[in-house]
Chain A
């Protein structure tokens, strides 16, 4: 039931923007403070229940597994996508995928490199990736296991942590933060390396 309500909220937001863009533009400013409060509350939940400390050693292995999967899987899928869509080359799709949901940073890097149209596609693709993976997190978790939503969300798993925790359980909180940290560091590195080719 909660999954339907979450997807319903997203659709309501999209419709609101579509029907009254002026008001929605003003309302969307509240996004940052709301996420801020939500993340502090996620931290409070962690602080109140300290059982996660006993499982920290297994989190290191899982963080590496998820981060490597998110990078290799994204780049491989992007390269495959280029073979289906003749309008884009494998380099271009890989550059877009190297954003790993970190749309603000990857778009700026591409924009500064003079790839303006690719930067726009990169922004929309990575934004869609974040929105889709977070709204589908409960379904992904049910079909592929509790680690899959974190790999799907990639570097946005920290800001989306409340949604992932709701779908996958309290144990995934540390994984969300650690994977987002590792993947956020990898984005500028990956994009720069791919730009050099």
Chain B
């Protein structure tokens, strides 16, 4: 909810000020640098020494499996609904 609120606040600022916003052209560059900093800080939050190798391996394997499962399901549903749409249009 907090993240959503932040994006809405930003949207309001952007919507009100539009092109009058100072440094609007620099926005993508600033965002890229902040993005790299975020990813770096995300890495500093994971203390690999506190976790045993067994736990790390199991967690990594399960996270990859779950991630791929979501993608596979998305592709299957996307394929099914696209075909359903085609059949419905033909009728």
Contacts and interface: CB of A to CB of B under 8 A. Distances in A.
A34 B38 contact: yes
A131 B42 contact: yes
Given A81-B62, A144-B75, A159-B3, A13 B43 contact: yes
Interface in B41-57: 41-49, 51, 55-56
A193 interface: no
Contacts of A126: 63
A38 B34 contact: yes
B3 A68 contact: no
Interface residues of A, number: 88
A contact patch SS:
helix
Contacts of A68: 73, 77
A34 B70 contact: no
- Chain B's interface size range is 35 or more
A163 B42 CA distance: 12
Contacts of B24: 48
Nearest to A2: B32
A133 to B, nearest CB: 5
Given A41-B31, A44-B13, A134 B69 contact: no
A129 B63 contact: yes
Interface of B: 1, 3-4, 6-16, 18-19, 21, 24, 27, 30-32, 34-49, 51, 55-56, 58-75, 77-78, 81
Interface of A: 2, 5-6, 9-18, 21, 24-25, 27-28, 30-31, 34-48, 50, 65-66, 68-70, 72-78, 80-81, 85, 87-88, 93, 96-97, 120-121, 124-129, 131-135, 140, 144-145, 147-148, 151-152, 154, 158-159, 161-163, 166, 173, 177, 180-181, 184
